[in-house]
C-alpha cells in the first residue's frame, strides 16, 4: 500500500495547524503566568484583584467578539434563572481561584507555584468523593499519595517558601478543582451544558461585577495609582493590555487544543506544560532551586501521571 497519502498537503497542513495550536496554548499559558509574576513581584504592581478584573474584562469583550461576530462556536443561550444562578456560583469560585493564584505569585516563585498547582487531581478526587459520593478504584487513591508527598517534600526544600503565599496557592488549587466538580454537578443536564467558550462568555462579566467592589474596598485608589504609574512609565498600560489579552487566549487555545486533539494527548501536554513553565521561569527569574525541591516536584508530576493512567484504566 502506498504511504503517499500520509504525507498529502492536507494531512501535513493539519499537523502543522495542530502543532501551531499547541505552541499557542503553551505560549499563552506560560506567558500569562510569567507576566503575572513579573507585574506582581518584580515590577511592583501589587494589585492582584485589579489585575484579575482586567483579565476578566478582556475575556468578556473578546469572548463576545469571538462568538457573536467571528462565530468561532455557536452561541448557547442561558435558558433559565436557575441556570444563571448556577453560572454565578461557578463565577464566584472561579474568581476565588484566579485571585488566590495571582496573590500567591506575589510571594512564591513560579516553579513552586506550579508544583503546588500540580496537586489539583488530589483536590478534585476529594471534592468528587464528598459532593457526588463518587468512589474511585482503590489504586486511583493510592496514586494520590505521591502527588501530595511530592509537594510536602518540595515545600521543605523551597528556599523562597512563604506561608501566606503557600496558603493562597493551595486555596487557588482547591478552588480550581471545586469549580471543575461543581461544573459537572450544576451543568450536567443536556439542556444546561455549555461549552467552555460560552461558559466563559457568561462567567467573565459576572466575575467583573464580583471583583469590582472587592478591588475598590481592598485596593483603594488602584485606578489613580495605575494612571500615576502610567505617567511615569507608559509600559504599565501595555503590560496590562497584553497580559489581559493573553489571559483570554489561554482559554481560547485550551478550547481549540481540546477540540483538535485527543483526551490522552491533552493530558500528556498538560503535564509537560507545568514542567516547561518551571524551567522557563527559573531561566528568566533565576530564583534559587534545590535538589530537594526539584525532587519533590518530580514525584508530584509522576503521581499525576499515574493518577491519570489509573483513572483511564478504571473507566
**Whole-Å CA distances, 289 to 49, 63, 302:** 28, 38, 19
Instruction: Kindly report the backbone phi and psi dihedral angles of residue 167, in degrees, each rounded to the nearest multiple of 5, phi listed first.
Output: -65, -45
Interatomic CA distance for residues 290 and 97, integer angstroms: 28
**pLDDT attached to residue 261:** 78
Produce one character per residue of 235-264: b if its CB has 16 or more CB atoms within 10 Å, e if not: ebeebbeebbbbbbbbbbbbbbbbeebeee
pLDDT at residue number 10:
62
Q: 21: which 3 cell numbers?
A: 495550536
CA distance 282 to 278: 6
- Where on the phi/psi map is residue 133: left (φ > 0), alpha (ψ -120 to 50), or beta? left
CA nearest to 63, candidates 249, 231, 285: 249
Q: What is the pTM of this model?
A: 0.89
Residues in the chain: 315
Which pLDDT tens digits describe the chain residue by residue (315 residues)?
444 444 445 666 778 888 899 899 999 999 999 999 999 998 989 999 999 999 999 999 999 999 999 999 999 999 899 999 999 999 999 999 999 999 999 999 999 999 999 999 999 999 988 988 778 888 989 999 999 999 999 998 899 999 999 999 999 999 999 999 998 888 877 778 889 899 999 999 999 999 999 999 999 999 999 999 999 999 999 999 999 999 999 999 988 888 887 666 776 787 788 889 999 999 999 988 899 999 999 999 999 889 888 888 876
Q: Is residue 67 within 8 Å of residue 197, measured between CB atoms?
A: yes
Residue 191 has a pLDDT of 78
pLDDT at residue 6, rounded to an integer? 46
pLDDT at 1: 42
Amino acid at each position: 500500500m502506498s504511504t503517499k497519502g500520509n504525507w498529502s498537503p492536507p494531512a501535513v497542513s493539519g499537523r502543522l495547524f495542530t502543532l501551531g495550536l499547541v505552541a499557542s496554548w503553551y505560549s499563552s499559558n506560560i506567558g500569562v503566568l510569567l507576566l503575572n509574576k513579573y507585574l506582581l513581584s518584580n515590577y511592583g504592581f501589587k494589585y492582584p484583584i485589579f489585575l484579575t478584573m482586567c483579565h476578566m474584562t478582556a475575556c468578556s469583550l473578546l469572548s463576545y467578539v469571538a462568538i457573536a461576530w467571528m462565530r468561532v462556536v455557536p452561541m448557547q443561550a442561558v435558558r433559565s434563572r436557575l441556570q444563571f444562578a448556577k453560572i454565578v456560583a461557578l463565577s464566584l469560585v472561579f474568581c476565588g481561584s484566579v485571585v488566590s493564584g495571582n496573590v500567591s505569585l506575589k510571594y512564591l516563585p513560579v516553579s513552586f507555584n506550579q508544583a503546588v498547582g500540580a496537586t489539583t487531581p488530589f483536590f478534585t478526587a476529594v471534592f468528587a468523593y464528598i459532593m457526588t459520593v463518587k468512589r474511585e478504584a482503590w489504586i486511583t487513591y493510592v496514586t494520590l499519595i505521591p502527588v501530595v508527598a511530592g509537594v510536602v517534600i518540595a515545600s521543605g526544600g523551597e528556599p523562597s517558601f512563604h506561608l501566606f503565599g503557600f496558603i493562597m496557592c493551595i486555596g487557588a488549587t482547591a478552588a480550581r478543582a471545586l469549580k471543575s466538580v461543581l461544573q459537572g454537578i450544576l451543568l450536567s443536564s443536556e439542556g444546561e451544558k455549555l461549552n467552555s467558550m460560552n461558559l466563559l462568555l457568561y462567567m467573565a462579566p459576572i466575575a467583573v461585577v464580583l471583583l469590582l467592589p472587592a478591588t475598590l474596598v481592598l485596593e483603594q485608589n488602584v485606578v489613580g495609582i495605575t494612571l500615576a504609574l502610567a505617567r511615569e512609565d507608559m509600559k504599565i498600560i501595555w503590560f496590562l493590555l497584553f497580559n489581559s489579552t493573553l489571559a483570554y487566549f489561554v482559554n481560547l487555545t485550551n478550547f481549540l487544543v481540546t477540540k483538535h486533539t485527543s483526551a490522552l494527548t491533552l493530558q500528556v501536554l498538560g503535564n509537560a506544560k507545568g514542567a516547561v513553565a518551571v524551567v522557563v521561569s527559573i531561566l528568566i527569574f533565576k530564583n534559587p532551586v534545590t535538589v530537594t525541591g526539584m525532587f519533590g516536584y518530580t514525584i508530584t508530576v509522576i503521581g499525576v501521571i499515574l493518577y491519570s493512567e489509573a483513572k483511564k484504566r478504571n473507566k
